[in-house]
């Protein structure tokens, strides 16, 4: 079912604002000009021990004009939505470009993109979460929290829901006008176990990923909702097992990594490392650069031959999926790593032109009307093997290893070499079988060593689309949501740390 | 959502919302922001912008048999004609909601000495003109850097945020907050060596980009010789920026409610919090003060949502100088009035600045380097994340310059490392603490710019593995 774009957004004087701003920018000599009007609805609610802890319900509306004037970017935004204001903001954007001209040594030219006319896009969802009464949403979370709290092992339960509806209107001098709407939902619960005497505590969180869906993710039918009943039923048992699990012995282990953990490793060690703006140094003062330098495009051995990674802005329910990006480029899918070799980057129009890469693959995104678009992450996904093994088959190939499920702590260096991750739960693998949980586990590796040790990827039946709402990048900081799909995977010989030993003196 | 009202005054919108309120209580917060920024890479400008924003948050409270419920709704660019719809939706949300655990009576004007002061003043604004003297100097610096084989990457940002808080009990508080910072990374033209300088500022009058570039050149010069070291425990000098990142994380974790739940490093086994416990033998002090010179920040609580660390009911409560750690002893955790009652401790709300000092401090970082036989000198930390909440084990990377100090002098650059350390544990084993100075946390400085920190000497800092990043 495809929803209509919310009338409260389409009722704004979008095309009059575009005419006013673009006409003024053209008259002032801009080579390129685009106008964005955005409305972002954002609601979150959190519960602590089944009681409401906090809620937030925001709506941000505004417009932005971006110009290329005399080969230099200029950007201005404001909250006033009148044609007069749009003219003023266009003038301000040109003024910013002029102030910036003496600081600019590289002329900005944009890669060609066909004009798409006047087009619309609405993401695939069934139930607009903003039409569900707040009381109903809180009740679901409270009931689920109570389910967890009914178990002796659960000392505390936290529950949170975060919902976003994003409307974007874009128009440029070249003749593309887009009106778009996306919806996304993230619901998580976490159980806390505390041993009062020793003060030892631990947590276990649900694995349900954030998704580009509506409230049907929570209460919909079996083919659109997460299997909450099963997950909530099993969570207290997992927590109890973790609290009494032995501490891991640090060393080298074979790992079977579940998609619920690996998506984040993909995000950090592949997603960010293959952003061309990082490779070119635009993020050098903040997020960092990349070991995957541009001169290695087509030759860098990123990982083993079973490693195939794609970028896309088209996957259904993907958090980075959209019809057209914030430069009017239509959504696409492309290869990033093919049989273990780096073959592609994520691009925007200026970088595609700068590096003679042809058309942009559509990764420009701004998180709000007040921020300038920059290259942000597509859905970057590790492809499964056709007819490939199940998770159980992968586990059966390991004599001495660990099966890692769920993401938790993450950290990676500014060139995306050295990383360290933990997880929700870690199962000892002995002679091809799971043998109970372990505690205090972290895995640490260098990106190309790690992906080089990838022996096998599971079949499509193990593939899960994970993701995150909170990817940060840029100055001023911007937040984006992105999905990463992957199958279960088998890595050989990865360094495992004991986190208690790391903290010792 | 209306289209025409940037001219309407924020105070009028606040008063209109309060006048329209039909429930037991109402809190209204209007925020007006203006921002200007410049960003550059490889000695050329990359992006820029000037932005204006306005946000109105209405918090309605409704009393009932089981307690008080709240409804919180925020919208950008609300005009006088839109206020009623916003108030009604907050009231509707409150009526549909369950009772709020953190419910307390709204603050009274008599409790708020600054109530009414400057209320009628217009919002403070900034513009791209804030960089009018820095931008030409930066252009000259780019030319010099290029000529000398350096590439500069950086960001300068200035924001003016003005908050107008009104409550149905009569509190009126206006607070204008300037926030600014400049950060510059300098690299050799082959990107094999890297350094960084960052500075927080209120108005850019104290920013000298020529001096910033000279410091980067000095540090890149230190890196002319390179020594590769293995992972291990090293005597390490952490400069104020690195200390700021570790302590800001510690501060964000120092929430009374979470500690009382038994789930943080500040939880006492058997129940309750560790307030009153000695964390360090040294005479260490960690504190916040809204009036700290150069670090001035919000004098009252502004909370647009409730959480473990803040409560919408506390809006307007004055914030004073607060010792979190004094003479090595944990004195306070971040509180709401509700959590203060729960824990039986004083109400010590979160403050938007953080300082640390030691009663033993006698010298700054340069003198500490001069007094070092053999050790590592860091520039800053990056990607600091919690590994284990139980002991607040953090992991992260050294970034943009690790230097080997021998015989009191920097003699070479060393590779980067991943570290695993707990700031709480480190407090108990600091070999030396320097004089504190204003600094900018490299990682968390974009959210938390107002810090004054000393350098630390740690005898055995845990460098867990080598990072190839440069």
- pLDDT tens-digit profile of B165-224? 999 999 999 999 999 999 999 999 999 999 999 999 999 999 999 999 999 999 999 988
Contact B418 A420 (CB under 8 A): yes
**CA-based angle B393:B398:B399, to the nearest 5?**
140
Which stretch of A15-19, B63-67, B445-449 has the lowest confidence by average pLDDT? Answer: B63-67
**What pLDDT band is residue B128 in, cutting at 50, 70 and 90?**
confident
Residues in chain A with CB shorter than 8 Å from the CB of B446 are 475-477
Q: Are strands A251-257 and A400-412 parallel, antiparallel or unpaired?
A: parallel
Rounded to a whole number, what is the distance in Å from the CA of A386 to chain B's nearest CA?
35
| Nearest-CB residue to A102 (from B54, B136, B304) | B136
State the alpha helices, DSSP H only, in B167-263.
Answer: 209-222, 240-253, 256-260
Rounded to a whole number, what is the distance in Å from the CA of A180 to chain B's nearest CA?
18
B131-180 pLDDT per residue, tens: 988 988 999 999 999 999 999 999 999 999 999 999 999 999 999 999 99
Q: Is the pLDDT of residue A150 over 60?
A: yes
With CA atoms as reference, report the closest residue to A365 among A184, A166, A94, A173. A166
Compare all CA atoms of chain A with the CA of B146 and give the residue at the minimum distance: A105
| Nearest-CB residue to A284 (from B97, B128, B185) | B185
The DSSP string of B359-416 is TT----HHHHHHT-SEEEEEEEEEEEEEEETTTTEEEEEEEEEEEEEETTEEEEEE-E
Q: Are B417 and B234 in contact (CB under 8 A)?
A: no
| Nearest-CB residue to B39 (from A106, A412, A475) | A475
Both tokens of residue A34?
A: 């685009």
Residue B3: predicted pLDDT: 44
Tell me what percent of chain A is helix, strand and coil, each rounded to the nearest 5.
Answer: 25, 40, 35
Residue A361: predicted pLDDT: 98
Task: Return the number of CB contacts < 8 Å for A and B.
Answer: 300
Question: Rounded to whole angstroms, how far apart are CA atoms A449 and A418?
Answer: 10
Q: Name the DSSP letter for residue A268.
A: I
Question: Rounded to whole angstroms, how far apart are CA atoms B127 and B105?
Answer: 40
Residue B5: predicted pLDDT: 47
Q: What ipTM does this complex have?
A: 0.94
**What is the rounded radius of gyration, in angstroms, for the C-alpha atoms of chain B?**
24
Rounded to a whole number, what is the distance in Å from the CA of A389 to chain B's nearest CA?
32
Residues 6+ apart with CB under 8 A from B463: B231, B232, B233, B234, B236, B376, B398, B417, B418, B419
**CA-based angle A90:A91:A97, to the nearest 5?**
90
A19: burial class by Cβ within 10 Å (0-12, 13-18, 19+)?
middle
Residue A199: predicted pLDDT: 84
**What pLDDT band is residue A505 in, cutting at 50, 70 and 90?**
low
Rounded to a whole number, what is the distance in Å from the CA of B289 to chain A's nearest CA?
26
Contact B446 A476 (CB under 8 A): yes
Q: Tell me phi and psi for residue B252, to 5 degrees.
A: -65, -25
What proportion of chain A, given as a percentage, has pLDDT over 90? 94
Residues in chain A with CB shorter than 8 Å from the CB of B444 are none
pTM, two decimals, is 0.96
Q: Are B368 and B409 in contact (CB under 8 A)?
A: no
Report the pLDDT averaged over residues B70-76: 93
Site from B34, B134, B262 to mutate, A interface, most A CB atoms within 10 angstroms: B262
Tell me what percent of chain B is helix, strand and coil, each rounded to the nearest 5.
Answer: 25, 40, 35
**What pLDDT band is residue A105 in, cutting at 50, 70 and 90?**
confident
Both tokens of residue B155?
A: 């960001």
Return the number of other C-beta atoms located less than 10 Å from residue A231's C-beta: 15
| Nearest-CB residue to A418 (from B39, B71, B467) | B467
Question: Rounded to whole angstroms, how far apart are CA atoms B402 and B411?
Answer: 11
| Nearest-CB residue to B307 (from A53, A73, A79) | A53
Question: Rounded to whole angstroms, how far apart are CA atoms A462 and A455?
Answer: 16
Q: Is the pLDDT of residue A2 over 80?
A: no
Residues in chain B with CB shorter than 8 Å from the CB of A106 are 44
| Nearest-CB residue to A82 (from B3, B35, B48) | B3
Contact B3 A12 (CB under 8 A): yes
Rounded to a whole number, what is the distance in Å from the CA of B245 to chain A's nearest CA?
15
Rounded to a whole number, what is the distance in Å from the CA of A116 to chain B's nearest CA?
26
CA distances from B434 to B236, B284, B293 (A): 13, 11, 19
Contact B76 A79 (CB under 8 A): yes
**CA-based angle B202:B207:B213, to the nearest 5?**
145
Q: Are strands A478-486 and A464-473 parallel, antiparallel or unpaired?
A: antiparallel
Residue A302: predicted pLDDT: 98
Using CA atoms of B13, B14, B15, B21 in order, give the dihedral in degrees to the nearest 10. Answer: 110
With CA atoms as reference, report the closest residue to A157 among A239, A48, A44, A52. A48
Q: Is the pLDDT of residue B1 over 60?
A: no
Question: Rounded to whole angstroms, how far apart are CA atoms A219 and A237?
Answer: 24
Residues in chain A with CB shorter than 8 Å from the CB of B185 are 284-285
Contact B390 A200 (CB under 8 A): yes
């Amino acid at each position: 079912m495809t929803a209509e774009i919310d009338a409260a957004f389409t009722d704004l004087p979008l095309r009059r604002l575009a005419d006013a701003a673009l006409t003024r920018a053209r008259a002032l000599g801009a080579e390129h000009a685009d106008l964005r009007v955005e409305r972002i609805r954002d609601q979150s609610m959190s519960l602590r021990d089944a009681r409401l802890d906090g809620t937030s319900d925001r709506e941000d509306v505004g417009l932005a004009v971006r110009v290329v004037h005399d080969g230099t970017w200029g950007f201005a935004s404001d909250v006033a939505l009148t044609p007069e204001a749009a003219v003023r903001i266009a003038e301000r954007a040109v003024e910013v470009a002029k102030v910036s001209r003496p600081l600019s040594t590289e002329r900005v030219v944009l890669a060609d993109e066909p004009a798409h006319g006047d087009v619309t896009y609405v993401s695939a969802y069934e139930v607009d979460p903003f039409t569900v009464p707040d009381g109903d949403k809180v009740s679901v979370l409270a009931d689920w929290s109570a389910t967890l709290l009914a178990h002796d092992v659960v000392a505390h339960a936290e529950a949170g829901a975060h919902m976003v509806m994003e409307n974007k209107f874009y128009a440029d001098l070249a003749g593309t006008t887009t009106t778009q709407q996306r919806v996304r939902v993230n619901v998580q619960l976490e159980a806390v176990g505390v041993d009062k005497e020793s003060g030892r505590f631990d947590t276990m969180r649900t694995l349900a990923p954030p998704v580009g869906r509506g409230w049907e993710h929570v209460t919909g039918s079996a083919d659109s909702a997460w299997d909450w009943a099963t997950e909530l039923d099993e969570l207290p048992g997992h927590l109890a097992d973790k609290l009494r699990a032995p501490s891991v012995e640090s060393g080298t282990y074979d790992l079977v990594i579940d998609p619920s953990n690996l998506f984040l490793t993909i995000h950090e060690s592949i997603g960010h490392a293959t952003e061309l703006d990082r490779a070119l140094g635009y993020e050098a003062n903040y997020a960092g650069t990349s070991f995957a330098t541009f001169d290695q495009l087509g030759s860098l051995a990123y990982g083993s031959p079973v490693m195939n990674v794609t970028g896309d802005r088209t996957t259904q329910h993907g958090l980075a999926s959209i019809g057209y990006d914030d430069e009017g480029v239509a959504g696409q899918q492309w290869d990033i790593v093919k049989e273990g070799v780096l073959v592609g980057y994520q691009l925007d129009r200026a970088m595609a032109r700068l590096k003679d890469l042809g058309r942009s693959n559509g990764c420009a995104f701004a998180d709000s009307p007040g921020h300038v678009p920059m290259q942000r992450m597509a859905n970057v996904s590790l492809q499964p093997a056709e007819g490939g093994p199940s998770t159980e088959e992968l586990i059966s190939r390991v004599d001495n290893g660990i099966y890692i499920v769920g993401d938790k702590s993450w950290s990676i260096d500014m060139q995306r070499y050295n990383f360290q991750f933990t997880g929700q739960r870690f199962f000892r693998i002995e002679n091809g079988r799971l043998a109970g949980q372990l505690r205090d586990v972290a895995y640490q590796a260098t990106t190309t060593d790690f992906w080089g040790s990838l022996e096998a990827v599971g079949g499509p039946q193990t593939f899960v689309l994970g993701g995150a709402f909170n990817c940060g990048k840029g100055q001023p900081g911007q937040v984006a949501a992105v999905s990463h799909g992957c199958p279960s995977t088998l890595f050989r010989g990865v360094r495992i740390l004991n986190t208690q030993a790391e903290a010792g003196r | 959502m209306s289209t025409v009202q940037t001219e309407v005054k924020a105070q009028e919108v606040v008063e209109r919302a309060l006048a329209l309120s039909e429930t037991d209580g109402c809190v209204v917060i209007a925020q007006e922001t203006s921002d200007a920024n410049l960003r550059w890479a490889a000695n050329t400008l990359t992006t820029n912008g000037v932005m204006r924003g306005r946000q109105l948050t209405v918090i309605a409270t409704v009393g009932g048999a089981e307690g008080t419920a709240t409804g919180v709704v925020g919208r950008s660019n609300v005009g006088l004609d839109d206020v009623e719809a916003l108030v009604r939706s907050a009231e509707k949300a409150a009526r549909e909601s369950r009772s709020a655990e953190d419910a307390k009576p709204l603050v009274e004007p008599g409790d708020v000495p600054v109530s009414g002061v400057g209320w009628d003043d217009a919002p403070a604004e900034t513009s791209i003109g804030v960089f009018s003297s820095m931008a030409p100097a930066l252009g000259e610096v780019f030319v010099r850097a290029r000529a000398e084989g350096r590439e500069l990457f950086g960001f300068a940002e200035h924001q003016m945020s003005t908050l107008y808080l009104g409550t149905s009990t009569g509190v009126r508080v206006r607070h204008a907050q300037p926030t600014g910072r400049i950060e510059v990374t300098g690299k050799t033209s082959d990107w094999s060596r890297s350094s960084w300088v960052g500075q927080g500022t209120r108005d850019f009058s104290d920013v000298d980009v020529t001096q910033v570039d000279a410091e980067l050149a000095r540090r890149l010069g230190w890196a002319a010789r390179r020594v590769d070291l293995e992972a291990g425990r090293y005597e390490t000098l952490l400069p104020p920026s690195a200390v700021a990142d570790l302590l800001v994380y510690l501060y964000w974790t120092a929430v009374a409610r979470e500690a009382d739940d038994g789930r943080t490093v500040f939880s006492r086994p058997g129940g309750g919090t560790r307030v009153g416990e000695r964390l360090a033998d040294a005479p260490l002090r960690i504190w916040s003060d809204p009036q700290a010179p150069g670090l001035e920040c919000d004098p009252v609580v502004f909370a647009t949502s409730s959480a473990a660390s803040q409560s919408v009911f506390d809006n307007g409560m004055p914030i004073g100088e607060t010792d979190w750690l004094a003479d090595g002893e944990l004195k306070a955790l971040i509180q709401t009035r509700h959590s203060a009652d729960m824990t039986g401790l004083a109400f010590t709300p979160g403050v938007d600045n953080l300082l640390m000092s030691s009663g033993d401090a006698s010298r700054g970082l340069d003198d500490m380097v001069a007094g070092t036989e053999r050790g590592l000198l860091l520039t800053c930390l990056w990607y600091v994340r919690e590994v284990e909440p139980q002991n607040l084990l953090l992991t992260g990377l050294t970034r943009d310059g690790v230097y080997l100090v021998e015989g009191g002098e920097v003699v070479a650059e060393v590779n980067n490392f991943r570290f695993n350390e707990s700031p709480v544990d480190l407090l108990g084993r600091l070999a030396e603490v320097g004089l504190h100075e204003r600094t900018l946390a490299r990682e968390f400085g974009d959210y938390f710019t107002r810090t004054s920190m000393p350098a630390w000497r740690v005898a055995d800092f845990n460098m867990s593995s080598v990072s190839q990043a440069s």
